[in-house]
């Protein structure tokens, strides 16, 4: 019977000795939960358990008890002579219950486990619960999880490798190794090995070694149903394309792409041996005359050679070369990306082609396509079905926005529709060479400030226009050059708000941020190509504040000097107060650098902690606290009101703004390019960024601090002013050198 069943039968007999006269056998079996668990764990039927109880009743209590103990101890003897079989180990682990249930029903799998070496990739119960409905035969499903070569995790290769499964036709299992910051992982197809719970080993009497690894996803083979007209067992990517009707159980069709592959004689690239990644667009993606645009170069751009890339183990936004890089005219790379959507954080996988070098026929830029059916294993790699062809640019900006319901920009489209802003759509259709910064779906999550602005249609229209740059295709490379220039801004369709760029480069990675209306957003999907421009997908809605004045200073590197200065004496602490409204004139880093050229010693000492009193006095002159923040437009309007009876060529009257340290007397001039100049004590100070909106006020980034001569020649201790007798002593020492 084996060790485990000896334990079980012996304990049942021993226990039955105590229940012979207490109640009926059937009642005892039904009431005894421990025996029910015994029966489940050892695959005993009800009649088997009842038979042992009847035997116990016939023998009598004492004989039954001693016979039960004898059989129980014989179980210990068997256990000492032989190690548990692999099947016994599977039955002892409750996480394998559903896989074991499948295994029991497979005669071929049981023969393998009795007589052969094997590696089993066993899915846990949760993997079966997540598995999509499939018509795969249970026998096929189990055999696809088995190989005839025993391999521990340390023997599964170092990069991309494969192992032939025991399923008819021996379709391969693709092994991928990934490295992480905290641990490395191993994947078989798209399933991750639970490494700490793997390497379950046993040795048979004949010396054969068998190994079990736990995995977190069920492996589904690609093969025809038994009733298919043309049965395929281990298809290549081309056989999959040719016989997809019998291989996939989804509503998708692949006729258009297959016809184009045949038309351009590209069958061989889908038959090539080895391991490759193939992207096949479904028929729904060939709207209008899109199929006519597919040529041999575009077909090449749907294949990544020598890499088998399943969605989970593949790093996101890492480019891979395609077959479309065979000459110097066109260069195309492909990368994976994803979006989390909805309250359950559903993961949506995308693939994007990036045409880096264009030949005029194939447009520069990115084409983003959702993966509608991922991770279909084939003999020579993996196939992903995608929503539309890659490399094909045939939509204008509006059409690209509206192309797919539930796409990455669907919430942005809904917001535009809710505002009934047709003029914005008309602009997207009719303009040439435009750049749209489009907030992704997650940027429109429930937020009180955002919802209140959207409900104000006039305000929302201004915000939309802030996301649109006319007459300028701003590819990321162009943005990079702007961010390195002196003027880091571009004008938008909203004349009162420019956009400012910053690019942070770390190795080969570049992070592009754009600021509009005081809001910093990160470009998460750049360079989406349209016929009349490009779209950059960003992670926030520009112009909708989400940080306090304090947090804006803390996180904006260009304002770092002023933030450091305010930290010295605790001046910054008040800037987190959301019950007040601040107007803060903040010198940017460059402003302090230029001030240090004129006053090097004084500015240097101003940033020393022991001089924090003087720093605080200067910063208090820059901060206005009032019921409502003063935007540049408001200050200008107040200036005009105070000068409405004066000739424009006469000297303008200054307005007074109540700062912490007295009154700030100034007036504002708006130039023709909609930039502002602050006039203060005879100085003309450019406003680099006006109206940086925060949740508790507004920041105006200025190109010079409000400094007076008295601020520099401060006296007292500590002092920035050197007394005359000290100057004489220093001069005497210098003359004696």
Give the pLDDT mean for 25-42.
46
Give the pLDDT mean for 390-418.
86
Q: What percent of the chain has pLDDT over 90?
A: 43
pLDDT confidence band for 76 (50 / 70 / 90) = very low
The dihedral through the CA atoms of 18, 24, 25, 28 has a sign that is: negative
Residue 355 near residue 363, CB atoms below 8 Å? yes
**Is the pLDDT assigned to residue 355 strictly greater than 70?**
yes
Round to whole Å and give the CA distance between 276 and 514: 37
Look up residue 621 and give its two tokens: 């002159």
The dihedral through the CA atoms of 209, 215, 220, 222 has a sign that is: negative
Least-confidence region, from 1-10, 149-158, 441-450, 578-587: 1-10
- Check residue 278 and give its pLDDT: 98
**Digit-coded pLDDT (tens) for 672-684:** 888 899 999 989 9
Burial bucket for residue 243 (CB in 10 Å: 0-12, 13-18, 19+): middle
- Check residue 661 and give its pLDDT: 77
- Check residue 46 and give its pLDDT: 46
- Check residue 733 and give its pLDDT: 39
pLDDT confidence band for 442 (50 / 70 / 90) = confident
Give the pLDDT mean for 478-493.
80
Give the pLDDT mean for 189-218.
91
Round to whole Å and give the CA distance between 465 and 345: 30
**Is the pLDDT assigned to residue 559 strictly greater than 80?**
yes
Give the pLDDT mean for 314-334.
89
**Digit-coded pLDDT (tens) for 217-252:** 999 999 887 776 777 889 999 999 998 888 766 778
Q: Angle at which helices 448-455 and 457-466 pack, to 10 degrees?
A: 110
Least-confidence region, from 51-60, 82-91, 212-221, 355-364: 51-60
Strands 320-321 vs 331-341: parallel, antiparallel or unpaired: antiparallel
Q: Highest-confidence range of 239-248, 299-308, 727-736, by mean pLDDT?
A: 299-308
Give the pLDDT mean for 140-151.
92
Round to whole Å and give the CA distance between 28 and 26: 5
Q: What is the pTM of this model?
A: 0.75
Give the pLDDT mean for 286-303.
91
Cβ atoms within 10 Å of 33's Cβ, excluding its own: 8
**Is the pLDDT assigned to residue 398 strictly greater than 50?**
yes
**Is the pLDDT assigned to residue 336 strictly greater than 60?**
yes
Residue 379 near residue 222, CB atoms below 8 Å? no
- Check residue 33 and give its pLDDT: 43
Least-confidence region, from 18-22, 385-389, 439-443, 490-494: 18-22
Round to whole Å and give the CA distance between 463 and 542: 7
- Check residue 66 and give its pLDDT: 57
Query: How many Cα atoms occupy the beta-carbon half-sphere of 508 within 13 Å?
Result: 3
Least-confidence region, from 286-300, 396-410, 714-728: 714-728
Round to whole Å and give the CA distance between 411 and 443: 9
Residue 542 near residue 380, CB atoms below 8 Å? no
- Check residue 487 and give its pLDDT: 63
Per-chain mean pLDDT for the chain = 82
Look up residue 167 and give its two tokens: 């399923």
**Is the pLDDT assigned to residue 279 strictly greater than 80?**
yes
**Digit-coded pLDDT (tens) for 120-132:** 999 999 999 988 7
Classify each residue of 383-415 as buried b or exposed e, where b means 16 or more C-beta atoms within 10 Å of its C-beta: bbbbbbbbbbbbbbbbebbbbbeebbbbbbbeb
The dihedral through the CA atoms of 33, 36, 37, 38 has a sign that is: positive
Give the pLDDT mean for 296-322.
95
pLDDT confidence band for 37 (50 / 70 / 90) = very low
**Is the pLDDT assigned to residue 332 strictly greater than 90?**
yes
pLDDT confidence band for 469 (50 / 70 / 90) = very high
- Check residue 134 and give its pLDDT: 67
In three-state form (DSSP H/G/I as H, E/B as E, the rest C), the secondary structure along 489-544 is: EEECCCCCCEEEEEEEEECCEEEEEEEECCEEEEEEEEEEEECCEEEEEECCCCCC
- Check residue 43 and give its pLDDT: 42
pLDDT confidence band for 592 (50 / 70 / 90) = very high
- Check residue 158 and give its pLDDT: 66
Closest CA to 476 of 391, 365, 375: 365
- Check residue 701 and give its pLDDT: 95
- The more confident residue out of 14 and 622 is 622
- Check residue 735 and give its pLDDT: 45
Q: Highest-confidence range of 88-97, 301-310, 445-454, by mean pLDDT?
A: 301-310
- Check residue 236 and give its pLDDT: 96
- The more confident residue out of 194 and 91 is 194
pLDDT confidence band for 736 (50 / 70 / 90) = very low
- Check residue 408 and give its pLDDT: 83
Cβ atoms within 10 Å of 316's Cβ, excluding its own: 11
**Digit-coded pLDDT (tens) for 700-722:** 999 999 988 777 654 544 444 43
**Digit-coded pLDDT (tens) for 632-661:** 989 988 877 655 555 544 456 788 998 887
Query: How many Cα atoms occupy the beta-carbon half-sphere of 434 within 13 Å?
Result: 25
Give the pLDDT mean for 555-582.
92
Round to whole Å and give the CA distance between 704 and 598: 12
Gap between the terminal Cα atoms of the chain: 105
Q: Residue 676: enclosing H or E segment and its boundaries?
A: strand 676-680
**Is the pLDDT assigned to residue 430 strictly greater than 90?**
no
């Amino acid at each position: 019977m084996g060790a485990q069943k000896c334990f079980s039968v012996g304990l049942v007999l021993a226990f039955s000795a105590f229940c012979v006269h207490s109640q009926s056998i059937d009642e005892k079996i039904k009431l005894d939960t421990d025996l029910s668990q015994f029966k489940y764990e050892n695959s005993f039927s009800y009649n088997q358990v009842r038979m042992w109880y009847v035997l116990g009743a016939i023998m009598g209590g004492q004989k039954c008890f001693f016979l039960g103990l004898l059989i129980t101890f014989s179980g210990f003897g068997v256990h000492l002579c032989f190690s548990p079989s692999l099947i016994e180990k599977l039955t002892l682990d409750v996480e394998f219950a559903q896989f074991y249930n499948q295994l029991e029903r497979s005669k071929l799998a049981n023969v393998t486990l009795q007589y052969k070496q094997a590696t089993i990739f066993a899915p846990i119960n949760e993997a079966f619960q997540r598995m999509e409905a499939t018509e795969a035969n249970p026998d096929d499903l189990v055999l696809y999880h088995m190989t005839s070569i025993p391999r521990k995790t340390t023997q599964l290769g170092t990069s991309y490798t494969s192992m032939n499964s025991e399923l008819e036709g021996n379709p391969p299992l693709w092994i991928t190794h990934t490295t992480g910051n905290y641990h490395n992982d191993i994947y078989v197809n798209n399933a991750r090995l639970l490494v700490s719970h793997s390497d379950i080993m046993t040795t048979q009497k004949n010396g054969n070694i068998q190994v079990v690894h736990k995995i977190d996803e069920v492996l589904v083979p690609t093969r025809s149903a038994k009733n298919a007209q043309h049965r395929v067992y281990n298809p290549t990517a081309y056989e999959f394309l040719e016989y997809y009707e019998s291989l996939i159980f989804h509503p998708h069709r692949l006729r258009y792409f297959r016809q184009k592959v045949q038309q351009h004689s590209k069958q061989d690239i889908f038959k090539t041996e080895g391991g490759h990644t193939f992207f096949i667009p479904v028929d729904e993606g060939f709207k209008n005359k899109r199929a006519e645009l597919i040529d041999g170069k575009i077909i090449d751009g749907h294949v990544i050679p020598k890499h088998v890339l399943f969605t989970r183990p593949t790093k996101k936004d890492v480019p891979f070369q395609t077959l479309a890089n065979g000459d110097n005219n066109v260069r195309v790379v492909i990368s994976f990306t994803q979006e989390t959507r909805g309250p359950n954080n559903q993961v949506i996988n995308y693939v994007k082609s990036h045409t880096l070098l264009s030949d005029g026929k194939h447009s520069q830029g990115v084409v983003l396509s959702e993966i509608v059916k991922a991770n279909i294993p084939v003999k020579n790699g993996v196939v992903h079905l995608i929503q539309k062809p890659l490399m094909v640019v045939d939509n204008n900006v509006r059409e690209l926005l509206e192309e797919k319901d539930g796409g990455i920009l669907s919430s942005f489209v809904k917001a535009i529709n809710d505002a009934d802003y047709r003029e914005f759509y008309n602009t997207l259709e009719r303009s040439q060479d435009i750049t749209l910064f489009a907030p992704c779906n997650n940027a429109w999550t429930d937020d009180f400030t955002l919802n209140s602005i959207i409900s104000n249609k006039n305000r929302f229209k201004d915000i939309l226009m802030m996301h649109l740059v006319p007459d300028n295709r701003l590819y990321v490379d162009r943005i990079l050059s702007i961010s390195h220039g002196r003027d880091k801004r571009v004008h938008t369709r909203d004349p009162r708000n420019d956009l400012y760029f910053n690019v942070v480069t770390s190795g080969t990675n570049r992070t592009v941020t754009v600021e509009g209306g005081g809001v910093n957003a990160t470009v998460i999907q750049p360079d989406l190509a349209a016929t009349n421009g490009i779209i950059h997908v960003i992670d926030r809605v520009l112009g909708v504040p989400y940080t306090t004045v304090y947090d804006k200073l803390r996180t904006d590197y260009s304002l770092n000097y002023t933030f450091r200065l305010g930290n010295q004496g605790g001046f910054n602490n008040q800037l987190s107060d959301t019950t007040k409204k601040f107007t803060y004139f903040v010198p940017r880093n460059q402003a302090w650098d230029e001030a240090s050229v004129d006053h090097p010693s004084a500015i240097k000492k101003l940033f020393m902690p022991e001089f924090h009193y003087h720093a605080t006095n200067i910063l208090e002159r820059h901060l206005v606290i009032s019921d409502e923040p003063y935007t540049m437009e408001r200050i200008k309007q107040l200036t005009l009101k105070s000068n409405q009876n004066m000739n424009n060529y006469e000297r303008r009257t200054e307005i007074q703004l109540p700062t912490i340290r007295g009154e700030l007397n100034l007036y504002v001039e708006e130039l023709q390019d909609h930039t502002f100049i602050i006039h203060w004590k005879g100085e003309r100070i450019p406003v680099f960024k006006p109206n940086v909106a925060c949740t508790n006020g507004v920041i105006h980034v200025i190109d010079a601090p409000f400094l007076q001569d008295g601020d520099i020649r401060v006296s007292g201790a500590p002092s920035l002013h050197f007394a005359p007798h000290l100057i004489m002593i220093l001069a005497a020492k210098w003359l004696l050198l």
